[in-house]
Amino acid sequence: MAASLSATPAATPAAPSTGHALPLDLLIVGAGLAGLCMLHKARRQGLNALVIEAAGGVGGTWYFNRYPGARVDIQSMEYSFGFDEALQQHWHWTERYAAQPELLRYANHVADRFALRDAILLNTQLAGAAFDEASQRWRAVAEGGQAWAARFLVMASGPLSSPNQPDFPGLARYTGRVLHTARWPHEAVDFTGLRVGVIGTGSSAVQAIPVIAEVAAQVTVFQRTASYAVPAHNGPLDADFEAGIKADYAGFRARNQRMMGGFGSLQPPNLVSALAVSPEQRQAMFEERWRIGGFGLLGTFHDLIVNPAANELAAEFVRGKIRETVHNPATAEALCPRHPIGCKRLCVDTNYYATYNRPNVALVNLQTSPIEQFTPSGLVAGGLAHDVDALVLATGFDAMTGTLLKLNLRGRGGQTIQAKWQAGPLNYLGLTVAGFPNLFNIAGPGSTAAFTNVIVAIEHHVSWIADCIAHLDAHGLATIEANADAEAAWAVHVNTVAARTVYLSCNSWYLGANIPGKPRMFMPLFGYPAYVEKCAQVAAQGYAGFTLA
Ligand code: N01
């Protein structure tokens, strides 16, 4: 899903001359799970498609995020493709929540099983692409100079593929090793006996810290905002559970499709308000979900995400768990988040809070002890020097738009995507952008991907795009382009839905609030089933809201 992160906004690419550009139906950017799925679907439809990928292998997210403890936070049996029965029957996950190496093996298996590799160019960074109105094709060039002229440009570059490396003043003075969780080295990193600093406490840090702490001499965690983490209760995949799902995988997928996030049908939300039960009942119901683990905690009551009072009850339940787990009361209090639970993406953990009971783990609260300076041997925060041998930046991503804005895309009239998205990522259905004909974005802003099992979101987008292209071909049409009014209405819709929830009440990457200067616009849409219905409706109405020509 990751395209590249090394790309920086550069001058507009010169449109390659038709003579030298390889003609394609689809140019797909990114060989993560989205790119692989799109390529397979396009080929089955008889389209001539090519994937370009900046990395040296397929797998996107699972190629890059190799930090210790990296694993999926959706159950493995759900986090896989459902488009091919033989694939889903064949593949065996070893754990309830698969770890990064196994997820990367899965991506490679998909590439091999469907013989996709001959249409994937690795180590190929898109330098830019421009829509050529005369030929009605996207002219794309890679940094190496290769050029293509494609009818359709499909961005499968991933919503979380552009690492956020904050501009920490003076970081260059630090002489130890600096690592970013989203650009982890391919060779093993041995922290044995080392003093390690970790900046950030989101999902990546929550997974990495307990694993690093098992071998490091000392781990110092620099926390700006505390995170809610729910136990994964990970373990070997139960053979009976696997067999039960495989006996009716299609039915299982269909039931998940009806869930708000496209997953979790094994543990559907209780249709009762958190405010309608006694405190004892409430506690028992939260305890039951905590015992099972995972995102299902947020479904203990139907109103946790939409009613701040109900939400606070769930938040306080988790704070209670933190206080119960962490022995040092001051550390426990600093680890207790104050924003609504679920407002930032919930973390699914293994031993995160308990790790703070280890003698070799310390928490520095950046709210009260901000980073003052970096030194050759570490950093100073709140007047105290922290010397570390290695510094792990678990500082997340320039989410949803970061990669696209680095890729030098130009639509009609030479308009840049940067100009178009100056105030935020305007789009229609999350899939298309007015002024950028025949450009499709998989799992991007304006879609439900960030709130959904992303594989489910990818498969839906890939099918919609393939059907759309089939419709154009069947009707002898060359282009499809979102109408500006449909796009404007969609932005209002996405934000209206968000305004009915707690999602606007904290500084999350959903809002672009983790990146200084990024326009604040709520980017993902909540509610997968209604979104799928809307996308189907638009298509059934002959692509209402679009201009086809
Ligand atoms: O990134 P994050 P992530 N100074 O943005 C802090 C998916 N994912 O890589 O909250 C100090 O969540 C920042 O602080 P604050 C998942 O969707 C999934 O952990 O902005 N601190 C925060 O604590 C997830 O949501 C899995 O105040 C700074 C942290 O860095 C998404 O990826 C695993 C800072 C960043 O947390 C992102 O997760 C991993 C600064 N200048 C990721 N800038 C699974 O489990 C940032 N921070 C599948």
Span from the CA of 518 to the centroid of ligand 1 (angstroms): 16
One-letter amino acid at 211 equals V
Q: What is the pLDDT of residues 288-343, one digit of tens each?
A: 999 999 999 999 999 999 999 999 999 999 999 999 999 999 999 999 999 999 99
Q: What is the pLDDT of residues 352-367, one digit of tens each?
A: 999 999 999 999 999 9
Span from the CA of 344 to the centroid of ligand 1 (angstroms): 9
Span from the CA of 335 to the centroid of ligand 1 (angstroms): 15
* 3-class DSSP state of 543: coil
Residue 62 · residue 188 · CB < 8 Å: no
Integer Cα distance of 320 and 309 in angstroms = 17
Question: Which residues form the pocket of ligand 1, taking CB atoms under 6 Å from any ligand atom?
Answer: 72-73, 160, 166, 181, 199-205, 207, 224-225, 345, 348, 366, 394-397, 509, 514
Rounded to an integer, the average pLDDT of 399-419 is 97
Residue 469 · residue 304 · CB < 8 Å: no
The 8 Å CB, 24+ separation contacts for 241-247 are 241/77, 242/77, 242/92, 242/93, 245/77, 246/88, 246/89
Task: Give the whole-number percent of the chain exceeding pLDDT 70.
Answer: 96
Backbone angles phi, psi at 377, to 5 degrees: -110, 5
Helices assigned H by DSSP within 50-174: 61-64, 85-90, 100-113
Q: What is the pLDDT of residues 249-264, one digit of tens each?
A: 999 999 999 999 999 9
- Measured by CA distance, the residue closest to atom 7 of ligand 1 is 203
pLDDT band at 413 (very low <50, low <70, confident <90, very high): very high
**Strand order of the sheet with strand 378-381?**
371-375, 378-381, 384-387
Q: What is the pLDDT of residues 170-200, one digit of tens each?
A: 999 999 999 999 999 999 999 999 999 999 9
For the purposes of burial, counting CB atoms within 10 Å of the CB of 438, is it exposed (0-12), middle (13-18) or buried (19 or more)?
buried
Reply yes or no on whether the pLDDT at 18 is more than 80: no
Task: Give the whole-number percent of the chain exceeding pLDDT 90.
Answer: 96
Question: What's the pTM value of the predicted model, to 2 decimals?
Answer: 0.96
Q: Which helix (H) or strand (E) holds 365?
A: strand 361-365
- Measured by CA distance, the residue closest to atom 29 of ligand 1 is 200
pLDDT of residue 210: 98
pLDDT of residue 20: 66
Rounded to an integer, the average pLDDT of 63-83 is 98
The atom number, within ligand 1, closest to the CA of 509 reads 5
Span from the CA of 508 to the centroid of ligand 1 (angstroms): 9
Q: What is the pLDDT of residues 104-150, one digit of tens each?
A: 999 999 999 999 999 999 999 999 999 999 999 999 999 999 999 99
Residue 367, C-beta contacts closer than 8 angstroms, at least 6 positions apart: 224
pLDDT band at 548 (very low <50, low <70, confident <90, very high): very high
- Measured by CA distance, the residue closest to atom 1 of ligand 1 is 396
**Distances, alpha carbon 171 to alpha carbons 189, 376, 395, 517, in Å:** 21, 9, 14, 20
Span from the CA of 295 to the centroid of ligand 1 (angstroms): 17
Integer Cα distance of 187 and 232 in angstroms = 27
Reply yes or no on whether the pLDDT at 22 is more than 90: no
Span from the CA of 345 to the centroid of ligand 1 (angstroms): 9
Distance of CA 170 to the CA centre of its chain: 30
Backbone angles phi, psi at 362, to 5 degrees: -130, 145
Q: 222: closest CA among 28, 55, 394, 56?
A: 394
